[in-house]
Chain A
Amino acid sequence: MGVAVEVKTIAPPRLHLVFAGLGLAFLLIFSWVLFHEGTAEWRTTQARFRRLETTVKNPHQLAQSVSVAGLRQIWLPDLGRVDRCGTCHLGIDDPAFTGAPRPFAAHPGTWLSTHPTDRFGCTACHDGQGQATDYANAAHQPQPFVSRPMRPLETIEANCGACHRALDPPDAPRLAEGRRLIIEWGCFSCHDIPGFEGLTFRGPALDSIGYKVRPGWLSVWLGDPKSYLPQSRMGKFRLSPDEIANLQGFLLSQRAQAPLDNTGVDWKKADTANGRALFGELRCVSCHAVNGRGGTMGPELTRIGDKVRRPWLFSYLKDPHRVQPDTPMLRYRLTDDQLRDLTAFLYEEYSSAGAGPEPTPATYQDARLLAAGHAVFERRGCASCHQLAGTKDTGRIGPSLAGIADRDPDELPYGSNIVRHTTDNYIFLKVLLPDTLGQPSSMPTYGFTPADAAKIALALASIRKTDLPASYVLRRPAPVPYRPGGKFGELVTRYRCLSCHSVGGFGGDLSTVPLDRIGSQLQHDYVAKYLLNPGAVRVSVEARMPVFHMLPEEATSIADYFSTVFLDDSIEQYDTNFTAAETRRGEELYGQLGCEACHQLGTKGGYVGPELSASGARLKAGWIAAWLSTPQRYKPDTLQPDYGLSSTDVRALTAYLSSLGRRDAAKARGGDAR
């Protein structure tokens, strides 16, 4: 500054003074730069490291180690990153510095063995400003104007998700849970969400809802689904009373298909005690909760009598697939009397006293009301989840979430919420309280707990704008839909096997048993018998196979199909000529290894794994051996530990387990049939 002033005021003959002044100024600036660089934070840090190194390493190691002086950086053109973090984090991949003070400590855990720094750098996982060389500018803590400071560990899994696109990366439980919640709540019905393509989330079809529900229930439901069903997956749309009335009239007029005829049913003869027994036997609670307990695949039934009309319920139980072709609900083989008893039981047991008499279905004549209801239906995107013939396909009504993690946090709305402006916080608030961000929002309020909202937000925060190079991305191939034909296909469709079991990864996961190699696991005759009267194989599991009331020939044809198609050749051939010595040794091992901690045998043992009392009549020997050798290969997260057994020991245990529950084998062992 001083220089500029001099230039203006001084006359030409004094030019040498100007040069002298300028020279001095340059000298000052130059020496300041030298001084500043010489005492830069990273230099003093490196000096501290060199002192530490002499205490950590022995002279021999020290002589071999690379000298640290100067900036160190990792350049990853594929990821578009330059990370200089190693300038100060000098011991990061050197185990000798485990437990050293920060910033020199080795990276904790085994992360760097799977994510080496020369391939991943640091900021790909941790965020922060990789090019900075001092603590503050690297944004170890949130900094003003830095949109991506380092992530605290609690939310770091969002960055795991950028590469790990398979649904549940190991070691990232929050991300996995967030993604599971996204699937459970069907966020992708209204939003395009990268990574969730091809998934469908379906509410019930509404074409005949006029026959199905009670008018009073419908207006309450439209006002706030949670007031009827606290676990409802339908959010609250914050509709005005007028909108509710119009929508109610419009929906109740939808009567495309009358329920199945029930004029022959004599309701006076209904035996609700038998209905109750059936309710238990059919294992309805595997999928439907009552009074807060039971499965979540279907809707809770606690107040079903307040919701639906009796003729509809009867008809639905008789053939659920007629009303809703893609429902996971199976079609039991029940007589009309049984259906009547079950309907009457549900209707009486699970309704509140004030439900009142059932009004007859009415068509609303007011054209203005119908048009207004129709308009609400389309405006709020009801068709994203519910099928209704004659309505415009509005597609995904919400904005695409592609690249949401890279939106500029300062351009996002936060309403009156006093929060730090970060994309994370924006997504979180939007998920939790969509109408508090100071903009009109048509996103319904789902009533998530803050913890669930945070996990959903975390999963969404892994969706970056630019795609990473393919070599970094881990995807799980989408399962190929499995739709067998013929008689077997018909049975699979009727009994909805794939609502709970999977084949080739396609299907449900309510059951712990995928069907891919079921024919090599279970004996044919056992399957045929089990399907007719499925009992509990695992005492502790609540969801059980329903009693389908299947015909014997149906059970046999399923068992036949299993034992000809669902086979694993690698475990089929197994020499089952066990010697008595092998069986005895197996029994010994069974005790030594503590198998009874988890498995029941007779009346003794734990509830964690399946009961083994009759394993000789249930399991195929090849499967027992294969499972005992490498359980995690067949089920990665199984509670069955890998004991590292030798093949002789595996064979002995197989011999012993194959002898259980088989009369012939028991005799050979000396008569003790367990």
Chain B
Amino acid sequence: MRARASRAAAIMALALTTSVACRTGPPSQPGDPMLDAIRAEERQGDLSYVESQGKHLFLHYCATCHGDEARGDGQNASNLSPPPPDMTASKSILDATLLEKVITQGSAAVGRSPLSPPWGRSLSRQEIDYLVAYCQSLSRKKTQKP
């Protein structure tokens, strides 16, 4: 019984990931379940590859303060004054130049508190670009899903 149940669950999951991926692209027959499983993971296929690379970095370097979804609710946020803003609702993230400056040189470089650290010397150019792309994707999420 149990065997069948777990098998059914796995097949369901497979079918689900396939259908999720199909919603975003033209339905392809027969499917690519491996690709679909990967796409389904990145916020239901909503993130581009570059943005999802940024998300991986964000979770490692930034989420303790900014929160896993960048809503300003990280574990360490309560120790910060001013606290990290909810980036999904922030206007700053629309401005790529400003974003890049905050990330590479720290929030002090744009006349704010020194609490967001400068990453320019620790992360590669490529990694900074990924982070900028991810931060910018946060505004899209807001406008697409009210």
* A and B co-occur in one complex: yes
Binding site for B on A (CB under 8 A): 108-111, 152-156, 170-171, 173-174, 223-224, 226-227, 236, 238, 417-420, 422, 424-425, 427-429, 432-433, 445, 447, 449-451, 453-455, 457-458, 540, 592-594, 596-598, 604-608, 631-632, 637-639, 641-644
The reply to whether A449 and B13 contact each other, CB–CB distance below 8 Å, is yes
B87 contacts chain A at the CB level, 8 A cutoff: no
Contacts of B35 in A (CB 8 A): 152, 154-155, 424, 454
Within 8 A of A (CB), among B1-47: 2-3, 6-7, 10-11, 13-14, 17, 28-41
- Distance of B57 from chain A, by nearest CB (Å): 8
The reply to whether A458 and B126 contact each other, CB–CB distance below 8 Å, is no
Contacts of A540 in B (CB 8 A): 64, 75-76
Residue of A174, A417, A605, A641 near B79 (CB, 8 A) is: A605
The reply to whether A110 and B125 contact each other, CB–CB distance below 8 Å, is yes
Contacts of B127 in A (CB 8 A): 171
B121 contacts chain A at the CB level, 8 A cutoff: yes
B115 contacts chain A at the CB level, 8 A cutoff: yes
Count how many chain B residues have C-beta atoms less than 8 Å from C-beta atoms of the other chain: 52
The reply to whether B38 and A641 contact each other, CB–CB distance below 8 Å, is no
- Distance of A634 from chain B, by nearest CB (Å): 12
The reply to whether A173 and B122 contact each other, CB–CB distance below 8 Å, is no
The reply to whether B118 and A451 contact each other, CB–CB distance below 8 Å, is no
The reply to whether B11 and A433 contact each other, CB–CB distance below 8 Å, is yes
Given contacts A111-B126, A433-B14, A597-B115, 11 further A-B contacts (CB under 8 A): A110-B125, A170-B124, A419-B33, A424-B32, A424-B35, A592-B114, A594-B108, A594-B114, A597-B79, A606-B79, A631-B122
CA distance A171 to B35 in the complex (A): 19
The reply to whether A173 and B32 contact each other, CB–CB distance below 8 Å, is no
Contacts of B106 in A (CB 8 A): 594, 641
The reply to whether B126 and A447 contact each other, CB–CB distance below 8 Å, is no
- Distance of B142 from chain A, by nearest CB (Å): 24
CA distance A49 to B17 in the complex (A): 40
The reply to whether B126 and A109 contact each other, CB–CB distance below 8 Å, is yes
CA distance A442 to B70 in the complex (A): 45
Residue of A449, A458, A638 near B34 (CB, 8 A) is: A458
Give the 6 A-B residue pairs with the shortest CB-CB distance, closest first: A594-B114, A153-B49, A428-B34, A450-B37, A454-B37, A642-B121
B91 contacts chain A at the CB level, 8 A cutoff: no
Contacts of A644 in B (CB 8 A): 118, 121
Max chain A C-beta neighbours (<10 A), residue from B31, B34, B61, B113: B34
CA distance A482 to B48 in the complex (A): 43
B131 contacts chain A at the CB level, 8 A cutoff: no
Residue of A111, A153, A594, A638 near B115 (CB, 8 A) is: A594
- Distance of A635 from chain B, by nearest CB (Å): 11
Which chain A residue lies CB-closest to B29? Answer: A418
